[in-house]
Structure 1
Amino acid sequence: VVGVDGKPRRWVYLHYFKEGQPSLNWLDPTFAAQQMIIGDALHAIDVMGAKILRLDANGFLGVERKLDGTAWSESHPLSITGNQLLGGAIRKAGGFSFQELNLTVDDIASMSHGGADLSYDFITRPAYQHALLMGDTEFLRLMLRQMHTLGIDPGSLIHALQNHDELTLELVHFWTLHAHDTFLYQGQTFPGNILREHIREQMYERLAGEHAPYNLKFVTNGVSCTTASIITAALGIRDLDAITPADIQQIRQVHLLLVMYNAMQPGVFALSGWDLVGALPLPAEQVADLMLDGDTRWIHRGAYDLVDLNPDAPLSAGQMPRSKTLYGSLISQLEDPDSFASQLQKILAARRAYDIAASRQILVPDVEHPGLLIMVHELPAGKGTQITALNFGSTPITETLHLPNIAPGPVVDIINERVEGDLTPEGEFTITLDAYEGLALRVVSSSPMI
């Protein structure tokens, strides 16, 4: 490599996260890495006008060799300190930060103390996809409870649909720190590493390969796919070219269910333009040149046109092929009250009206039906109790819920503004959900919570 002085030299660098991507030396006593990154962050805020910054792979800052010769980085004290310095500098400059940190739940909790303001929800993201693929919410419920047990408030998480990366199936929590801890799942006790392999096998089988050939594995720890193509895999649709108008209606229904899971709980809700238009993966041959190094993620990064700016263009300005989309542009969707975007608008209006983002999750109860998930939230400012009820299964559900220590009263659907029944003084409420239906409910009570 030719240095700044014009002399060629052989350079040796440390990498921990990925070959070809040097890691800055956060252990160097000159603090050059800290100065450079904090300077970059302050430049982004003060000069570029950014308000929120993403800290990626920020758990790998304090790399050190253990006595057994292996590297130690996750939860290294200097990783935690480095994040506190960076997060503190960003806050001091008037910005916010979030960490995209796919580690154990314990590590995410440690790195959040005084570090980034928010964390990407890698805790329940693969779990809610598993719930959809299997029609069973038990693993999702297990992860929600792990989150609470280890002291993470869901209000500190960014709950998201599709992003630019693969659907990661690393399940790091069960791979490393908790590999030999035992977990109760489907009536049996599993070591963490065995539970991890079981969940991964189920998801790979349903999400890719013969069952859904349009989704592709990404190296060894994930699947390249769009939200829409996760749903088509769950619905057993093998040929994306054979999707019918009736299929699109059902895909949209399931997509809104996933919106409900992520938006109707405390924290930040995020979705992508690919979600808004219902993008499908690109055929692999269209991006074969970009995948020569084995990176299959290009299939879910297709171009889209949100506002019909250039509806006939086959390629984006960056030369990405246009994705096939199921929902159309926002312009056309907002003229249709039944469209994905119009329904999303109603969901977000209810989320905003009742300040669900700032609520407190107080209960994730056991249920009888495998496809049912219930999350109970205490709304801020004395607005009462909110219940998110989701059917991840393909059959209707009628079930009596048992919700202790919640003041009784009428139960109202806050999205469609209709009464769904009553919560009794004994804490019982009977709920009815169609296949893949979600409800956002509020208990209207004049009494405070018990």
Structure 2
Amino acid sequence: MTNENNNTLGFTHYLFLWFGAAVSIAEILTGGLLAPLGFQSGVTAIVIGHVVGTVMMVLCGIIGTQERIPALVSTRISFGAYGSYLFSILNVLQLVGWTAVMIISAARSANEISKMLWGMDQMSLWSIGIGGLVLLWIALGREGGLKRLNMLAVFLLLGITVILSTVVFKDSSALSVLPAGGMSFGEALELSVIMPLSWLPLIADYTRFAKSKTSAALGSGLGYFIGSCWMYIIGLGAAIVAGNPEPSAMMLAANLGLSALGIVVLATVTTTFLDAYSAGVSFNNIFPELNEKQVALVMTIIGTVIALWINIEEYESFLIAIGSVFAPLFAVLLTEYFIIKNRLVRPEVLINWSALVVWALGVGMYYQFIKMEFIFGATIPVMLITALLYKIIWGYTKQWKYCKKSPMAL
């Protein structure tokens, strides 16, 4: 639980926070993966996927605001304490992975720019430098300087987003190019849903400090939806028009020169901060005696080290792995909280076996839908089926809980 004096964040803060989180190189590169579908179908998949994903994200944020608890602590409502530990570990792995992906993708873009400007090829140095700036951002903390600095950063990123859009779409006729093929609509839809889905285990870490449920929900939803769709469409357009969604190429084409380096670094730090900080919060769910900020700093260092060795070409597989774990997990939690209306974290419940079984079935279903190349992707049908299954069996499996106390306490 949080102290009421900490609940000071309003609509503007969340709008800026999540718009800044969405403006990232990873989002542009993911949008570029949709190029084989063509521009019109690609944009349709982007918008539909983001509507679904952002709604799920906002609902998870509402739990954080109403209960004043972090995201992974909220999973105790459905899965019990031990279940939340399992998902905390999986989330830490995801977030350290995201930290590494964000750092290496930014380092590659910065390295391309520095090679063009000065002939300097220092990938490792850029990775270490960007990781160091994320450490500094975390050290500044949630209030004060970071709050004001994040708002300034978002204004700068908004301007850069407009510039990138101008570069990509100055020749609009190129967007009427016929689809190249090689990607189904369902695959494109899935890649669009997965990005907001990856924030489900994080958003409540921040909305728990909101002044009100409405301000956090509207600010987070609008900020992320607008920013992420915009980034995807820029990446999609760049991949179709120029065959290259790499942001460094766009910024050099816009003659931004040295400013391009600052843009790449700024966009990365505002997003990667959230990943690293929430890794600390998730770890704190297992070991509450540890300081979450200090843990976040350690996670950033680990992510930076991994970034020196990671193979970015496995990025799409990484996204699918995220979807397989967290789509059924939050389908269960959202069903428990909003439909069954069981909203209590019960300390005596160590594990809910029925919830874990349904989650495991959902993970298996996810990979089956991926193989099928279903028109609605994998996340949407898996979340619906998982939610329906959990609702149906909930009344029959309430006793499938392992508790510290006597079963009579149930």
TM range (shorter): under 0.3
**TM-score, normalised to structure 2's length?**
0.24
**TM-score, normalised to structure 1's length?**
0.22
* Structure 1 or 2: more helix by fraction: 2
